[in-house]
Structure 1
Amino acid sequence: MKIESITPLILTYNEEQNIDRTLQQLTWARQIIIIDSFSTDRTLDIIAAYPQAKVVQHKFESFANQCNFGLSQIESEWVLSIDADYTLSQELIDEISALSDSIDINAYSVPFKYCVYGKPLHGTLYPARKVLYRKDKGTYENDGHAHRVSINGEVRSLKHVIYHDDRKPLSRWLWAQDRYMVIESKKLLETPDRELSWGDRIRKRKVLAPFIILIYCLIVKGGILDGWQGWYYAFQRMLAELLLSIHIIEAEYLR
Protein backbone atom coordinates (compact mmCIF):
# COMPACT_ATOMS: atom_id res chain seq x y z
CA MET A 1 0.00 0.00 0.00
CA LYS A 2 1.35 3.42 -0.93
CA ILE A 3 0.91 5.52 2.18
CA GLU A 4 0.71 8.69 0.09
CA SER A 5 -2.53 7.37 -1.45
CA ILE A 6 -4.28 7.39 1.95
CA THR A 7 -6.32 10.49 2.85
CA PRO A 8 -6.56 11.35 6.56
CA LEU A 9 -10.00 12.55 7.67
CA ILE A 10 -10.27 14.70 10.81
CA LEU A 11 -13.20 16.40 12.53
CA THR A 12 -12.44 19.64 14.37
CA TYR A 13 -14.12 22.11 16.65
CA ASN A 14 -11.88 24.39 18.75
CA GLU A 15 -8.90 22.04 18.80
CA GLU A 16 -6.07 24.56 19.08
CA GLN A 17 -4.49 22.60 21.96
CA ASN A 18 -4.28 19.39 19.88
CA ILE A 19 -4.41 19.81 16.12
CA ASP A 20 -0.77 20.79 15.51
CA ARG A 21 0.57 17.60 17.13
CA THR A 22 -1.86 15.55 15.05
CA LEU A 23 -0.90 17.20 11.76
CA GLN A 24 2.84 16.94 12.45
CA GLN A 25 2.52 13.16 12.06
CA LEU A 26 0.52 13.44 8.81
CA THR A 27 3.00 15.38 6.65
CA TRP A 28 3.41 12.26 4.48
CA ALA A 29 -0.17 12.65 3.18
CA ARG A 30 -0.79 14.32 -0.17
CA GLN A 31 -4.11 15.65 1.10
CA ILE A 32 -5.76 15.88 4.52
CA ILE A 33 -9.51 16.50 4.70
CA ILE A 34 -10.63 18.42 7.79
CA ILE A 35 -14.34 18.87 8.49
CA ASP A 36 -14.60 21.83 10.83
CA SER A 37 -17.73 22.71 12.83
CA PHE A 38 -17.03 26.47 12.64
CA SER A 39 -14.20 26.73 15.18
CA THR A 40 -13.85 30.05 16.99
CA ASP A 41 -10.33 29.61 18.41
CA ARG A 42 -6.96 29.34 16.58
CA THR A 43 -7.69 25.92 15.05
CA LEU A 44 -7.99 27.18 11.47
CA ASP A 45 -4.87 29.38 11.78
CA ILE A 46 -2.83 26.37 12.88
CA ILE A 47 -4.20 24.20 10.07
CA ALA A 48 -3.27 26.92 7.54
CA ALA A 49 0.42 26.14 8.14
CA TYR A 50 -0.10 22.73 6.47
CA PRO A 51 -0.59 23.28 2.71
CA GLN A 52 -1.93 19.76 2.09
CA ALA A 53 -4.77 20.30 4.56
CA LYS A 54 -8.16 21.14 3.02
CA VAL A 55 -10.76 22.56 5.41
CA VAL A 56 -14.46 22.17 4.70
CA GLN A 57 -16.79 23.78 7.23
CA HIS A 58 -20.02 21.91 7.90
CA LYS A 59 -22.73 22.35 10.53
CA PHE A 60 -22.49 19.67 13.22
CA GLU A 61 -25.53 17.45 13.69
CA SER A 62 -23.92 14.24 14.92
CA PHE A 63 -20.51 12.59 14.74
CA ALA A 64 -21.79 9.97 12.29
CA ASN A 65 -23.29 12.57 9.95
CA GLN A 66 -20.13 14.64 10.10
CA CYS A 67 -17.92 11.63 9.28
CA ASN A 68 -20.17 10.50 6.41
CA PHE A 69 -20.05 14.02 4.99
CA GLY A 70 -16.27 13.89 5.29
CA LEU A 71 -16.15 10.66 3.31
CA SER A 72 -17.99 12.41 0.48
CA GLN A 73 -15.08 14.87 0.24
CA ILE A 74 -12.41 12.19 -0.22
CA GLU A 75 -11.20 11.00 -3.62
CA SER A 76 -8.61 8.38 -2.63
CA GLU A 77 -9.37 4.67 -2.21
CA TRP A 78 -8.22 4.52 1.42
CA VAL A 79 -9.21 6.71 4.36
CA LEU A 80 -7.46 7.20 7.71
CA SER A 81 -10.22 8.49 9.99
CA ILE A 82 -8.81 10.00 13.20
CA ASP A 83 -9.76 12.50 15.87
CA ALA A 84 -8.05 15.85 16.31
CA ASP A 85 -6.41 14.63 19.54
CA TYR A 86 -4.84 11.50 17.98
CA THR A 87 -1.13 11.28 17.21
CA LEU A 88 0.17 8.47 15.02
CA SER A 89 3.27 6.73 16.33
CA GLN A 90 6.16 6.55 13.88
CA GLU A 91 6.05 2.77 14.24
CA LEU A 92 2.44 2.75 13.04
CA ILE A 93 3.29 4.95 10.04
CA ASP A 94 6.07 2.50 9.12
CA GLU A 95 3.71 -0.46 9.60
CA ILE A 96 1.08 1.08 7.32
CA SER A 97 3.74 1.86 4.70
CA ALA A 98 4.73 -1.82 4.64
CA LEU A 99 1.19 -3.15 4.11
CA SER A 100 0.45 -4.98 0.89
CA ASP A 101 -2.56 -3.73 -1.06
CA SER A 102 -4.53 -6.94 -0.61
CA ILE A 103 -7.90 -7.00 -2.32
CA ASP A 104 -9.22 -9.27 0.46
CA ILE A 105 -8.78 -6.74 3.28
CA ASN A 106 -11.08 -3.73 3.56
CA ALA A 107 -10.08 -2.24 6.90
CA TYR A 108 -7.51 -2.26 9.70
CA SER A 109 -8.08 -1.65 13.40
CA VAL A 110 -5.45 0.07 15.53
CA PRO A 111 -4.83 -0.08 19.31
CA PHE A 112 -4.53 3.07 21.40
CA LYS A 113 -2.30 4.41 24.12
CA TYR A 114 -4.10 6.95 26.29
CA CYS A 115 -1.96 9.91 27.35
CA VAL A 116 -2.41 12.50 30.08
CA TYR A 117 -0.48 15.64 29.13
CA GLY A 118 1.87 13.63 26.96
CA LYS A 119 2.49 10.68 29.27
CA PRO A 120 1.26 7.30 27.95
CA LEU A 121 -0.63 5.35 30.63
CA HIS A 122 -0.27 1.64 31.36
CA GLY A 123 -3.89 1.02 30.45
CA THR A 124 -7.05 2.67 29.20
CA LEU A 125 -10.74 2.00 28.69
CA TYR A 126 -10.28 2.99 25.04
CA PRO A 127 -10.65 -0.02 22.71
CA ALA A 128 -8.97 -0.60 19.36
CA ARG A 129 -10.77 1.16 16.51
CA LYS A 130 -11.16 0.63 12.78
CA VAL A 131 -9.45 3.77 11.50
CA LEU A 132 -7.94 2.72 8.15
CA TYR A 133 -10.38 1.42 5.55
CA ARG A 134 -11.44 1.54 1.93
CA LYS A 135 -13.70 4.55 1.42
CA ASP A 136 -16.44 2.63 -0.39
CA LYS A 137 -16.57 -0.06 2.33
CA GLY A 138 -17.24 2.17 5.36
CA THR A 139 -20.38 3.82 6.71
CA TYR A 140 -20.74 5.65 10.02
CA GLU A 141 -23.57 5.10 12.49
CA ASN A 142 -24.39 6.82 15.77
CA ASP A 143 -23.90 4.71 18.89
CA GLY A 144 -25.13 6.56 21.96
CA HIS A 145 -23.00 9.67 22.34
CA ALA A 146 -20.29 8.11 20.18
CA HIS A 147 -20.11 6.82 16.62
CA ARG A 148 -18.73 3.77 14.89
CA VAL A 149 -17.86 2.77 11.38
CA SER A 150 -19.46 -0.33 9.87
CA ILE A 151 -17.17 -2.12 7.44
CA ASN A 152 -18.33 -4.36 4.64
CA GLY A 153 -15.62 -7.02 4.41
CA GLU A 154 -12.59 -8.40 6.22
CA VAL A 155 -10.89 -6.40 8.98
CA ARG A 156 -7.34 -7.02 10.18
CA SER A 157 -5.54 -5.68 13.26
CA LEU A 158 -2.36 -3.63 13.23
CA LYS A 159 0.23 -3.91 15.98
CA HIS A 160 1.46 -0.39 16.63
CA VAL A 161 -0.46 2.39 18.35
CA ILE A 162 -2.12 5.74 18.01
CA TYR A 163 -1.65 8.05 21.01
CA HIS A 164 -4.86 9.62 22.33
CA ASP A 165 -3.59 12.84 23.90
CA ASP A 166 -6.33 15.40 24.53
CA ARG A 167 -4.96 18.55 26.15
CA LYS A 168 -8.05 20.73 26.08
CA PRO A 169 -8.86 22.33 29.47
CA LEU A 170 -10.95 20.52 32.08
CA SER A 171 -13.83 22.97 31.57
CA ARG A 172 -14.11 21.89 27.92
CA TRP A 173 -13.96 18.22 28.93
CA LEU A 174 -16.77 18.73 31.47
CA TRP A 175 -18.88 20.57 28.88
CA ALA A 176 -18.45 17.73 26.40
CA GLN A 177 -19.06 14.96 28.94
CA ASP A 178 -22.26 16.59 30.16
CA ARG A 179 -23.59 16.65 26.58
CA TYR A 180 -22.41 13.09 25.91
CA MET A 181 -24.02 11.67 29.04
CA VAL A 182 -27.42 13.14 28.22
CA ILE A 183 -27.32 11.11 25.00
CA GLU A 184 -25.84 8.05 26.73
CA SER A 185 -28.48 8.03 29.47
CA LYS A 186 -31.22 8.17 26.81
CA LYS A 187 -29.64 5.20 25.02
CA LEU A 188 -29.39 3.12 28.22
CA LEU A 189 -32.94 3.87 29.36
CA GLU A 190 -34.47 3.13 25.95
CA THR A 191 -32.55 -0.12 25.38
CA PRO A 192 -33.86 -3.36 26.99
CA ASP A 193 -31.40 -4.92 29.44
CA ARG A 194 -31.13 -8.07 27.35
CA GLU A 195 -29.67 -6.00 24.50
CA LEU A 196 -27.08 -4.23 26.68
CA SER A 197 -23.56 -5.42 27.46
CA TRP A 198 -22.87 -6.42 31.05
CA GLY A 199 -20.94 -3.17 31.48
CA ASP A 200 -23.86 -1.04 30.33
CA ARG A 201 -26.22 -2.99 32.60
CA ILE A 202 -24.05 -2.00 35.57
CA ARG A 203 -23.96 1.61 34.38
CA LYS A 204 -27.74 1.63 34.15
CA ARG A 205 -27.97 0.72 37.87
CA LYS A 206 -26.36 4.11 38.66
CA VAL A 207 -24.75 3.50 42.06
CA LEU A 208 -21.95 1.01 41.50
CA ALA A 209 -20.51 2.05 38.13
CA PRO A 210 -18.52 5.16 39.24
CA PHE A 211 -16.72 3.27 42.01
CA ILE A 212 -16.12 0.19 39.85
CA ILE A 213 -14.56 2.39 37.16
CA LEU A 214 -12.26 4.06 39.69
CA ILE A 215 -10.94 0.71 40.96
CA TYR A 216 -10.76 -0.73 37.45
CA CYS A 217 -8.65 2.16 36.14
CA LEU A 218 -6.31 2.23 39.14
CA ILE A 219 -5.85 -1.48 39.84
CA VAL A 220 -6.86 -3.57 36.82
CA LYS A 221 -5.49 -1.12 34.23
CA GLY A 222 -2.44 -0.21 36.31
CA GLY A 223 -3.18 3.48 36.68
CA ILE A 224 -1.74 3.48 40.19
CA LEU A 225 1.68 2.95 38.55
CA ASP A 226 1.33 6.10 36.44
CA GLY A 227 1.68 8.67 39.21
CA TRP A 228 -0.63 11.68 39.27
CA GLN A 229 -1.53 11.12 35.60
CA GLY A 230 -3.03 7.73 36.49
CA TRP A 231 -5.09 9.22 39.28
CA TYR A 232 -6.15 12.09 36.99
CA TYR A 233 -7.45 9.64 34.38
CA ALA A 234 -9.19 7.46 36.97
CA PHE A 235 -10.92 10.47 38.52
CA GLN A 236 -11.94 11.69 35.06
CA ARG A 237 -13.57 8.39 34.22
CA MET A 238 -15.24 8.21 37.64
CA LEU A 239 -16.61 11.73 37.18
CA ALA A 240 -17.95 10.83 33.72
CA GLU A 241 -19.81 7.88 35.24
CA LEU A 242 -21.16 10.08 38.03
CA LEU A 243 -22.51 12.50 35.42
CA LEU A 244 -24.15 9.57 33.65
CA SER A 245 -25.73 8.34 36.91
CA ILE A 246 -27.11 11.82 37.66
CA HIS A 247 -28.59 12.14 34.18
CA ILE A 248 -30.22 8.70 34.47
CA ILE A 249 -31.74 9.66 37.83
CA GLU A 250 -33.01 12.95 36.38
CA ALA A 251 -34.45 11.26 33.28
CA GLU A 252 -36.23 8.63 35.37
CA TYR A 253 -37.71 11.31 37.66
CA LEU A 254 -38.98 13.39 34.70
CA ARG A 255 -40.69 10.45 32.99
Structure 2
Amino acid sequence: MPTVHLSVVIITYNEEQNIGRCLEALYDVAEDVVVVDSFSTDRTVAICQQHGVRVVQHAFEGYVAQKNFATTQAQHDFVLQLDADEVLTEELRASIRHAKQHWQHAGYTLTRLTNYCGTWVRHGGWYPDRKLRLYDRRLGEWQGVLLHERFELVSGQSVGTLSGDLLHYSYHSVEQHVSQLNRFTSIAADELWLRGRRKVNLFHLLLKPWWRFLHGYFFRLGFLDGFAGLSIAVISALGVFLKFAKLKFTRSEKAIGEEK
Protein backbone atom coordinates (compact mmCIF):
# COMPACT_ATOMS: atom_id res chain seq x y z
CA MET A 1 0.00 0.00 0.00
CA PRO A 2 1.34 3.49 -0.83
CA THR A 3 1.89 6.07 1.89
CA VAL A 4 -1.43 7.00 3.49
CA HIS A 5 -2.60 10.46 4.50
CA LEU A 6 -3.49 10.82 8.16
CA SER A 7 -6.06 12.88 10.03
CA VAL A 8 -5.78 13.56 13.75
CA VAL A 9 -9.08 14.05 15.58
CA ILE A 10 -9.36 15.53 19.09
CA ILE A 11 -12.46 16.24 21.19
CA THR A 12 -12.27 19.15 23.63
CA TYR A 13 -14.11 21.12 26.26
CA ASN A 14 -12.28 23.82 28.23
CA GLU A 15 -8.81 22.40 27.53
CA GLU A 16 -6.79 25.61 27.34
CA GLN A 17 -4.16 24.18 29.71
CA ASN A 18 -3.54 21.13 27.53
CA ILE A 19 -4.50 21.60 23.89
CA GLY A 20 -1.49 23.68 22.82
CA ARG A 21 0.99 21.07 24.05
CA CYS A 22 -0.96 18.35 22.25
CA LEU A 23 -1.08 20.23 18.92
CA GLU A 24 2.60 21.19 18.97
CA ALA A 25 3.59 17.50 18.79
CA LEU A 26 1.64 16.89 15.56
CA TYR A 27 3.63 19.03 13.14
CA ASP A 28 5.35 16.14 11.35
CA VAL A 29 2.68 13.45 11.68
CA ALA A 30 -0.62 14.48 10.10
CA GLU A 31 -1.88 16.08 6.92
CA ASP A 32 -5.10 17.10 8.66
CA VAL A 33 -5.98 17.99 12.27
CA VAL A 34 -9.57 18.58 13.38
CA VAL A 35 -10.70 19.55 16.87
CA VAL A 36 -14.33 18.87 17.75
CA ASP A 37 -15.13 21.29 20.55
CA SER A 38 -18.18 21.19 22.82
CA PHE A 39 -18.57 24.99 22.98
CA SER A 40 -15.70 25.68 25.37
CA THR A 41 -15.93 28.83 27.48
CA ASP A 42 -12.17 29.28 27.87
CA ARG A 43 -9.40 29.90 25.28
CA THR A 44 -9.44 26.39 23.81
CA VAL A 45 -10.80 27.44 20.40
CA ALA A 46 -8.51 30.46 20.17
CA ILE A 47 -5.44 28.31 20.86
CA CYS A 48 -6.55 25.82 18.18
CA GLN A 49 -6.96 28.66 15.69
CA GLN A 50 -3.47 29.94 16.54
CA HIS A 51 -2.13 26.52 15.55
CA GLY A 52 -4.03 26.62 12.26
CA VAL A 53 -6.16 23.51 12.83
CA ARG A 54 -9.80 23.06 11.90
CA VAL A 55 -12.36 23.51 14.67
CA VAL A 56 -15.86 22.04 14.52
CA GLN A 57 -18.37 22.94 17.22
CA HIS A 58 -20.63 20.08 18.28
CA ALA A 59 -22.70 19.66 21.43
CA PHE A 60 -21.42 16.88 23.67
CA GLU A 61 -23.64 13.79 23.46
CA GLY A 62 -21.43 11.34 25.33
CA TYR A 63 -17.89 10.11 24.73
CA VAL A 64 -18.82 7.39 22.25
CA ALA A 65 -21.08 9.59 20.13
CA GLN A 66 -18.64 12.50 20.25
CA LYS A 67 -15.68 10.41 19.11
CA ASN A 68 -17.68 8.79 16.34
CA PHE A 69 -18.80 12.23 15.16
CA ALA A 70 -15.22 13.52 15.33
CA THR A 71 -14.04 10.58 13.23
CA THR A 72 -16.54 11.50 10.51
CA GLN A 73 -15.08 15.03 10.39
CA ALA A 74 -11.63 13.77 9.35
CA GLN A 75 -10.57 14.50 5.79
CA HIS A 76 -8.84 11.13 5.46
CA ASP A 77 -9.91 7.56 6.26
CA PHE A 78 -6.78 6.88 8.29
CA VAL A 79 -7.28 8.46 11.69
CA LEU A 80 -5.29 9.02 14.86
CA GLN A 81 -7.58 9.84 17.80
CA LEU A 82 -6.10 11.81 20.70
CA ASP A 83 -7.37 13.46 23.85
CA ALA A 84 -6.34 17.05 24.54
CA ASP A 85 -4.21 16.04 27.55
CA GLU A 86 -2.11 13.60 25.51
CA VAL A 87 1.21 14.23 23.74
CA LEU A 88 3.12 12.13 21.19
CA THR A 89 6.73 11.35 22.04
CA GLU A 90 9.39 11.50 19.33
CA GLU A 91 9.63 7.70 19.26
CA LEU A 92 5.88 7.38 18.83
CA ARG A 93 5.84 10.02 16.08
CA ALA A 94 8.52 8.08 14.21
CA SER A 95 6.53 4.88 14.60
CA ILE A 96 3.40 6.55 13.25
CA ARG A 97 5.29 7.93 10.27
CA HIS A 98 6.61 4.44 9.56
CA ALA A 99 3.10 2.97 9.79
CA LYS A 100 1.86 5.58 7.31
CA GLN A 101 4.55 4.56 4.84
CA HIS A 102 4.01 0.82 5.33
CA TRP A 103 0.35 0.50 6.31
CA GLN A 104 -0.44 -3.19 6.89
CA HIS A 105 -3.25 -3.45 9.44
CA ALA A 106 -6.75 -2.20 10.12
CA GLY A 107 -5.53 -0.46 13.25
CA TYR A 108 -2.57 0.01 15.56
CA THR A 109 -2.29 0.06 19.34
CA LEU A 110 0.03 2.20 21.43
CA THR A 111 1.08 2.39 25.06
CA ARG A 112 0.01 5.33 27.22
CA LEU A 113 2.22 6.59 30.05
CA THR A 114 0.37 8.72 32.59
CA ASN A 115 1.69 11.64 34.61
CA TYR A 116 -0.07 11.89 37.97
CA CYS A 117 0.61 15.02 40.04
CA GLY A 118 4.07 15.29 38.50
CA THR A 119 4.97 11.58 38.73
CA TRP A 120 5.17 9.21 35.75
CA VAL A 121 3.20 6.17 36.89
CA ARG A 122 4.52 2.81 35.70
CA HIS A 123 2.77 0.42 38.09
CA GLY A 124 -0.58 -0.22 39.71
CA GLY A 125 -2.15 -1.31 36.43
CA TRP A 126 -1.66 2.11 34.84
CA TYR A 127 1.18 1.09 32.51
CA PRO A 128 1.38 -0.10 29.87
CA ASP A 129 -2.10 1.27 29.20
CA ARG A 130 -2.50 -0.07 25.66
CA LYS A 131 -5.06 1.68 23.43
CA LEU A 132 -6.14 1.26 19.82
CA ARG A 133 -5.92 4.84 18.57
CA LEU A 134 -4.60 4.67 14.99
CA TYR A 135 -7.12 3.09 12.63
CA ASP A 136 -8.86 2.92 9.27
CA ARG A 137 -12.25 4.42 10.08
CA ARG A 138 -13.92 2.31 7.39
CA LEU A 139 -13.16 -0.85 9.38
CA GLY A 140 -14.65 -0.05 12.77
CA GLU A 141 -16.31 2.44 15.10
CA TRP A 142 -16.22 3.73 18.66
CA GLN A 143 -18.36 1.64 20.98
CA GLY A 144 -19.40 1.62 24.63
CA VAL A 145 -22.27 2.88 26.76
CA LEU A 146 -21.37 5.99 28.77
CA LEU A 147 -17.79 5.36 29.92
CA HIS A 148 -14.84 3.22 28.81
CA GLU A 149 -15.31 3.95 25.13
CA ARG A 150 -13.10 1.98 22.74
CA PHE A 151 -12.59 1.69 19.00
CA GLU A 152 -13.79 -1.73 17.83
CA LEU A 153 -12.64 -3.14 14.50
CA VAL A 154 -14.92 -5.40 12.50
CA SER A 155 -14.30 -9.09 13.06
CA GLY A 156 -11.28 -10.64 11.43
CA GLN A 157 -9.18 -7.49 11.05
CA SER A 158 -5.51 -7.49 12.02
CA VAL A 159 -4.00 -5.11 14.58
CA GLY A 160 -0.41 -3.87 14.67
CA THR A 161 1.56 -2.21 17.48
CA LEU A 162 3.36 1.13 17.59
CA SER A 163 6.56 1.75 19.54
CA GLY A 164 6.94 4.73 21.85
CA ASP A 165 4.67 6.10 24.56
CA LEU A 166 1.72 8.45 24.37
CA LEU A 167 2.24 10.83 27.29
CA HIS A 168 -0.96 11.38 29.26
CA TYR A 169 -1.02 14.41 31.57
CA SER A 170 -3.92 13.34 33.75
CA TYR A 171 -4.34 14.91 37.17
CA HIS A 172 -2.43 17.93 38.44
CA SER A 173 -3.66 17.55 42.02
CA VAL A 174 -5.46 15.15 44.33
CA GLU A 175 -8.33 17.64 44.43
CA GLN A 176 -8.72 17.42 40.66
CA HIS A 177 -8.64 13.61 40.82
CA VAL A 178 -11.37 13.49 43.46
CA SER A 179 -13.50 16.00 41.57
CA GLN A 180 -13.21 13.96 38.38
CA LEU A 181 -13.89 10.78 40.33
CA ASN A 182 -17.17 12.18 41.63
CA ARG A 183 -18.32 12.97 38.09
CA PHE A 184 -17.17 9.69 36.57
CA THR A 185 -18.69 7.52 39.32
CA SER A 186 -22.06 9.16 38.68
CA ILE A 187 -21.73 8.30 34.99
CA ALA A 188 -20.57 4.78 35.87
CA ALA A 189 -23.60 4.27 38.12
CA ASP A 190 -25.85 5.38 35.27
CA GLU A 191 -24.08 2.94 32.95
CA LEU A 192 -24.60 0.05 35.37
CA TRP A 193 -28.28 0.95 35.53
CA LEU A 194 -28.55 0.98 31.75
CA ARG A 195 -26.88 -2.44 31.65
CA GLY A 196 -29.59 -3.81 33.91
CA ARG A 197 -27.70 -3.84 37.22
CA ARG A 198 -30.10 -3.26 40.11
CA LYS A 199 -28.89 -5.13 43.20
CA VAL A 200 -26.08 -3.80 45.41
CA ASN A 201 -24.90 -5.57 48.57
CA LEU A 202 -22.05 -5.47 51.08
CA PHE A 203 -19.81 -7.37 48.67
CA HIS A 204 -19.96 -4.43 46.26
CA LEU A 205 -19.72 -1.75 48.96
CA LEU A 206 -16.98 -3.26 51.14
CA LEU A 207 -15.11 -6.15 49.55
CA LYS A 208 -14.80 -4.84 45.99
CA PRO A 209 -13.24 -1.51 47.12
CA TRP A 210 -10.74 -3.37 49.33
CA TRP A 211 -9.88 -5.71 46.48
CA ARG A 212 -9.32 -2.74 44.15
CA PHE A 213 -6.87 -1.24 46.65
CA LEU A 214 -5.00 -4.49 47.32
CA HIS A 215 -4.84 -5.41 43.65
CA GLY A 216 -3.49 -2.05 42.52
CA TYR A 217 -1.21 -1.20 45.41
CA PHE A 218 0.31 -4.60 46.19
CA PHE A 219 -0.34 -7.13 43.40
CA ARG A 220 0.26 -4.62 40.59
CA LEU A 221 3.16 -2.98 42.52
CA GLY A 222 1.55 0.44 42.87
CA PHE A 223 3.67 1.05 45.98
CA LEU A 224 6.72 1.41 43.71
CA ASP A 225 5.28 4.72 42.47
CA GLY A 226 5.54 6.24 45.95
CA PHE A 227 2.88 8.66 47.13
CA ALA A 228 1.35 8.78 43.65
CA GLY A 229 0.81 5.02 43.77
CA LEU A 230 -0.77 5.22 47.21
CA SER A 231 -3.05 8.09 46.21
CA ILE A 232 -4.18 6.29 43.07
CA ALA A 233 -4.90 3.06 44.94
CA VAL A 234 -6.90 4.74 47.71
CA ILE A 235 -8.91 6.98 45.39
CA SER A 236 -9.55 4.08 42.99
CA ALA A 237 -10.96 2.05 45.89
CA LEU A 238 -13.12 5.00 46.88
CA GLY A 239 -14.34 5.16 43.30
CA VAL A 240 -15.57 1.57 43.45
CA PHE A 241 -17.50 2.33 46.64
CA LEU A 242 -18.99 5.53 45.25
CA LYS A 243 -20.09 3.85 42.03
CA PHE A 244 -22.10 1.20 43.83
CA ALA A 245 -23.30 3.57 46.57
CA LYS A 246 -24.70 5.92 43.94
CA LEU A 247 -26.28 3.00 42.13
CA LYS A 248 -27.95 1.83 45.35
CA PHE A 249 -29.16 5.15 46.74
CA THR A 250 -29.22 7.91 44.17
CA ARG A 251 -30.23 5.69 41.28
CA SER A 252 -33.02 4.14 43.38
CA GLU A 253 -34.98 7.24 42.45
CA LYS A 254 -35.05 5.92 38.92
CA ALA A 255 -36.76 2.76 40.10
CA ILE A 256 -39.37 4.80 41.96
CA GLY A 257 -39.97 6.79 38.80
CA GLU A 258 -40.34 3.66 36.71
CA GLU A 259 -42.88 2.19 39.15
CA LYS A 260 -44.99 5.33 38.79
The correspondence of residues 12-51 of structure 1 with structure 2, limited to 5 A, is 12-28=12-28, 29-51=30-52
* 1:160 partnered with 2:172: no
What is aligned with 1:106?
106
User: Is the contact made by 2:111 and 2:131 (CA closer than 8 Å) also made in structure 1?
Assistant: yes
* 1:242 partnered with 2:241: yes
What is aligned with 1:80?
80
1:177 deviates by 3.1
How many residues align? The count is: 247
What is aligned with 1:177?
181
1:2 deviates by 8.4
* 1:115 partnered with 2:119: no
1:174 deviates by 4.1
What is aligned with 2:147?
145
User: Is the contact made by 2:9 and 2:33 (CA closer than 8 Å) also made in structure 1?
Assistant: yes
CA 1:25 to 1:125, structure 2 compared with 1: closer, same or farther past 3 Å? same
What is aligned with 2:134?
132
What is aligned with 2:221?
222
What is aligned with 1:196?
none
Q: What residue identity is the alignment partner of 1:31? A: D
Identity value in percent: 26
User: Which stretch shifts more, 154-163 or 7-16?
Assistant: 154-163
Secondary structure at 1:110 match in 2? strand
1:17 deviates by 2.3
Secondary structure at 2:75 match in 1? coil
Q: Find the partner of 1:187 among 181, 184, 191.
A: 191
Structure 1 spans left out of the alignment, 5+ residues: 194-200
CA distance in 1: counterparts of 2:144 and 2:205, whole angstroms: 23
1:64 deviates by 1.3
Any idea what the Cα deviations from partners look like across 1:134-176, whole Å, max 9, x if unmatched? 1212212233423121212221222322122124665554444
Secondary structure at 1:143 match in 2? coil
CA distance in 1: counterparts of 2:171 and 2:4, whole angstroms: 28
1:104 deviates by 4.9
Question: Which protein shows a greater Rg?
Answer: 2
CA distance in 2: counterparts of 1:204 and 1:5, whole angstroms: 51
Q: What residue identity is the alignment partner of 1:113? A: L
CA distance in 1: counterparts of 2:73 and 2:125, whole angstroms: 32
User: Which stretch shifts more, 55-64 or 103-112?
Assistant: 103-112
CA distance in 2: counterparts of 1:203 and 1:83, whole angstroms: 36
Secondary structure at 2:8 match in 1? strand
CA 1:45 to 1:250, structure 2 compared with 1: closer, same or farther past 3 Å? same
User: Is the contact made by 1:145 and 1:183 (CA closer than 8 Å) also made in structure 2?
Assistant: yes
Secondary structure at 2:206 match in 1? coil
* 1:207 partnered with 2:206: yes
CA 1:167 to 1:178, structure 2 compared with 1: closer, same or farther past 3 Å? closer
CA distance in 2: counterparts of 1:133 and 1:95, whole angstroms: 14
CA 1:189 to 1:70, structure 2 compared with 1: closer, same or farther past 3 Å? closer
1:4 deviates by 8.1
- TM-score, length basis structure 1: 0.83
1:43 deviates by 1.7
User: Is the contact made by 1:18 and 1:167 (CA closer than 8 Å) also made in structure 2?
Assistant: no
